[in-house]
Amino acid sequence: MHPICRHPLLEFNSNGIYCAQADVYIDPWRKVDRALITHAHADHARYGMKHYLTTPGSALIMRERIGQSLSIETTEYGEKHTIGGVTFSFHPAGHVLGSAMIRVEYKGEVWVASGDYKIGHDSFGNQFEPIPCHTFITESTFGLPVFRWEEESQVFDAINAWWKKNQTMGYTSVIYAYSLGKAQRVLQGIDPSIGPVVCHSAVQKLNRAIHDAGYAIHATSSFTEWKDSPKEALPLVIAPPASADGAWMKNHKPYVTAIASGWMALRGNRRRRNVDRGFVLSDHADWNGLLFAIEQSQASQVLVTHGYSQLFSQYLTEQGWDARVAETAFSDGFHEVEENQASE
């Protein structure tokens, strides 16, 4: 699909991804009047906008993360909003609860801002849906051929087996996973019949908000709740990486540690993160997933953002796409954005 308009429908400026015709921003990194938010991770959904438009799932998390008083309008997947003659709609991205790609259409031209996305199964029914467009703005967090994910079921079989083995040896199993997205994915994927699941407060806070909003999510306990309950089996503890060196971890001795991350696909990262085991599990598209999304978009122009953007853009150009790097203030993923949670 070849672009129709002479001027870009979306542009990148010092505030964010801007649609001049509608005077709105997508995932702005500075304070603006109106922000359309792809998902609730802190590098995409920031404090200080006068008004937000996002999905109910993202709004739920943003209110927990940023504040209950935010001015947020919610939209269902596929629902159309016309602003300044431009039609916007949100479509499943498969990244985390409520995540969306934003479709932007004006005078027949279509752009899609992907935010972050993952191909395949999603625990909350938010499975990625390709959107045909003229210009596709894609992330590239794992935009190298070395990043190719195993089947999700294989990863969770390995986590379950690790947990069981640790129990037989008298160790608590601690798995580090980012509070929003990865923690819930681990929780939904493991076998809860093996034993209780105890969550750090940063994770438990989001779990409870998700449960209270009506989403199906496995039962978990805080450490305070668990320590006062009968001990039938050693638990799986889910905690954010930022808590690894905190005093809270002393509550669980003796323990062994693991981390669930796409970065575990790179040799040496487990040792550098000082954990006993690494499980390759990501909420981002791998190399094949990125290429699949771009091919399915049918876009004639691809703008590559955060991650291995230069290398991935170069590869796309060599394969015949009109691709270039677009600079943003989004996280490259290696040091994922976490809230203030290391102290507990």
First to last CA, the chain: 51
Q: What is the pLDDT of residues 176-219, one digit of tens each?
A: 999 999 999 999 999 999 999 999 999 999 999 999 999 999 98
How high is the mean pLDDT of the chain? 91
What is the chain's length?
344
Domains and CATH numbers, the chain: 11-146+284-325 (3.60.15.10), 152-279 (3.40.50)
d(CA 249, CA 242): 11
CA 127 to chain centre: 13
User: On the CB side of 210, how many CA atoms lie within 13 Å of its CA?
Assistant: 29
Render pLDDT for 49-58 as a digit per residue (tens, 0 to 9): 999 999 999 9
Residue 225 CA to residue 67 CA, distance in Å, equals: 26
58 backbone dihedrals φ, ψ, rounded to 5°: -70, -40
User: What stretches of 131-254 adopt beta strand conformation (E)?
Assistant: 135-140, 172-176, 197-199, 236-239
User: Rounded mean pLDDT of 229-256?
Assistant: 85
Please give the model's pTM, rounded to 2 decimal places: 0.92
Q: pLDDT tier at 333 (50, 70, 90 boundaries)?
A: low
